Amino acid sequence: MRNFVRSIFTAGLMLMSITILQAQYDVPTNYATVVEALNAITAATEVTEVTINVAEGEILEPVQWTGKPGRPVKITIQGAGAGKTILKGYDDIDVPLPGEDKGHRLLNLYSTTDDGLDLTLRDMTLKNFGFGNTNGGGTINITTAGATVQVSLINVNFENCICRRGAAVQIYYDCKTLIVDNCSFFNCTSFVRGWNGGVILINGANATIKNSTFMSNVNNVMDTRDATDNDYKRGGAITMESDKGNVVATLENNAFVNNITLSDSVNKIHPTISFNSVNEALSFTVTMKDNIAIGNRVSGHDNDVDLYYDAGIEYLTSPLILTSEGNIMNSGLKQVIEIVGSDILYFDVPAETEGVIFNSEFTYTHSAIDFTMDGPLPAVLVDEAGVKYVEYSGDGVTTAIKPAVSSDNRINIYSYDRNLVVDGLLRGEVLEVYTITGSLFIRQKATESNVSLTMPKGLYIVRAGSMARKVFVP
């Protein structure tokens, strides 16, 4: 351990006090594992800011850190690179299976004595952590009320982690904050054993997830107790719940591809991302920007639901504020709208969801998507930090109706109060209106320069002359 001492002197250079504030721990030089170094921090009560430097190589972490530093402390666990420093919970052949009563995580932050903890993990891979039983938070668990905790994950690969709820991270309560930036989640497994909750579970907490890739994760919804799909509708990649508090979340510039649901039913809902309401007094405030979800599906079928909002079986109060822009998905949002007897009715809202382009025809190689491919799947690339990612070049608008703004300034397109207006047309000029999924809605020849159409509320693509433009009809 290397200590850095900050001293306070009088003007006469007399030493008034010495307080050890910072320290550096090296793994495996000073401590064999990261958890051993963390336990040393708990014991070193005078230290308030610590960096744990983790060398290149694989380190087996056989036990979890249970937190409880008992004071505000800022801890950074710094790896040598996401492709160089690998922390493993188990050897590859020993990872728990769904239903198997064993497992452990890396971090378990569940005590009120975690209050004031600011923990950052960066530049490493976390692999083979998790549980096969009813525990939640397979790799990182943050679940106690009354303690303000922030966990930041930067340049981290999660691989082959497993848990019933939150194979990578489970976070509860609105005094908790999760920040995920430039991370990847590959081949992780969530499963049903009485309940489930995806790779990341956010329950009444604050979360920002950006610049990250969720690929080839598995959501096994066949309950390990009776092999039944109970239709819980939890997101296989990200589940948000309003049981423990209000959810405030931002999802930005993330890719969700080839995430698979294991089920015997294609008639039930298996989302990639879900907002699941539990308490009418609590709400979701979610911003989604520039996310893409393609190829997520029930095994053996083309796709399933990428985005799902459950207004609640008991609480039909729609406590969701969703702000979205530039999102691309190939299967529609479903929302609970009515309960009739024992029947729950759903509806799809593709074209009416502003800021989300839904098109069931989108594939990885569709001209509007255009992933860099490696065989039948998007190629897994590695950035300079060692983080895995995928890349695509499309904007979600089909080539045939690409809404490029031309130099044809004579045409003006605008909308108001369920009306779409196209002004400046030439007689006989063709006007076409498409839904945002690419289906032709109206095609007609102009008989005068001004055309006004009464339209359902939604997002449309309008083509007239050499101009094409996206227009939202309020």
Buried b (16+ CB within 10 A) or exposed e, 224-243: beeeebeebbbbbbbbbbbe
pLDDT tier at 202, thresholds 50, 70, 90: very high
Q: What is the CATH number of the domain that holds 309?
A: 2.160.20
Domain assignment of residue 242, given as a range = 22-396
pLDDT tier at 331, thresholds 50, 70, 90: confident
* 236 and 376 together in one domain: yes
* 182 and 261 together in one domain: yes
Q: How far apart are CA 210 and CA 180, in angstroms?
A: 6
DSSP assignment of 396-419, as one string?
SS-GGG-----S-TT-EEEEETTE
Q: Give the 3-state DSSP-derived string for 27-42, with helices as H, strands as E and coil as C.
A: ECCCCCCHHHHHHHHH
Q: How far apart are CA 25 and CA 465, in angstroms?
A: 67
Q: What is the pLDDT of residues 113-123, one digit of tens each?
A: 999 999 999 99
* 293 and 372 together in one domain: yes
- Burial of 357: CB neighbours in 10 Å, binned 0-12, 13-18, 19+: buried
Q: What is the CATH number of the domain that holds 429?
A: 2.60.40.3080
* 372 and 248 together in one domain: yes
* pTM: predicted TM-score of the whole model, two decimal places: 0.80
Give the number of domains in the chain.
2
For tokens 């493993």, the residue is 88
Last residue of a domain, one of 362, 396, 430: 396
pLDDT tier at 428, thresholds 50, 70, 90: confident
* 148 and 275 together in one domain: yes
Last residue of a domain, one of 396, 418, 441: 396
Look at residue 270 and tell me if it is in a domain.
yes
The pLDDT of residue 429 is above 90: no
Q: What is the pLDDT of residues 332-357, one digit of tens each?
A: 666 544 434 444 444 444 434 567 77
For residue 278, the model assigns a pLDDT of 78
Q: DSSP assignment, residue 11? A: T
Look at residue 7 and tell me if it is in a domain.
no
* C-alpha Rg value of the chain to the nearest Å: 25
Q: What is the pLDDT of residues 223-274, one digit of tens each?
A: 999 999 998 989 999 999 988 999 999 999 999 999 999 999 877 888 999 9
pLDDT tier at 438, thresholds 50, 70, 90: low
